[in-house]
Amino acid sequence: MALKVCFIAILVIFSLQKLMCQASILNPYFEDISFDFVNYSYVDSETFDVSINYKPKSRNSINVKIDLIEELPANMMIKLNVSSRVFGQEIPTGLSFESSICDNGNAKFFYDILMVPFGVKECPPEKGSYEKEDFIPDLSKVPIPLVPGTSLLIKIHMYAEGIQLLDCKAFIVA
């Protein structure tokens, strides 16, 4: 009996590994993005704009315009909470991730993917205007396991000690 359970467990592990390998060749894309909070002490509220370009025959892209009126704090942190969306219901995945944006090895997932394409030369970004149209972030490098056909809701919270910077929701399809 124990051998049978062990064999089934090994099959499940191999199946999950196969799915994860497939996930690395997926082309995940943003389905939608919404902002619940933006700290307008740092970002110009008049020019802040993030919108999705919906493309039915290819991957959606994003238009972004952000004018920083103050340099962001060097100790910025990002927290991601990932849930799956099934039949319109949010299902917790148990996946949660919290990291410094600028100070450690995980910074490459955030700085390289989300800042470098906008011309940000150092982290934290200096005051200035950052803009990009038809931006398609390479989500295959983000450390979130994706299974084909998965719809994810990623709640993003950016903050520094005692300062809330941003809260948004990104809807991603694998």
Q: Is the pLDDT of residue 6 over 50?
A: no
In the chain, where the domains are located: 27-173
pLDDT, mean over the chain? 78
Indicate whether 117 pLDDT > 90.
no
- For residues 143-164, average pLDDT: 83
Using the predicted structure, report yes or no on whether residue 10 has a pLDDT greater than 60.
Answer: no
Tokens 């467990």 map to which residue? 9
- CATH number assigned to the domain covering 27-173: 2.70.220
How far apart (Å, rounded) are the C-alpha atoms in residues 75 and 151?
31
* Average pLDDT value for residue range 81-109: 80
Most confident of 24-28, 33-37, 60-64: 33-37
Q: What is the mean pLDDT of residues 112-140?
A: 81
* Whether pLDDT at 24 is above 90: no
CA distance 123 to 78: 13
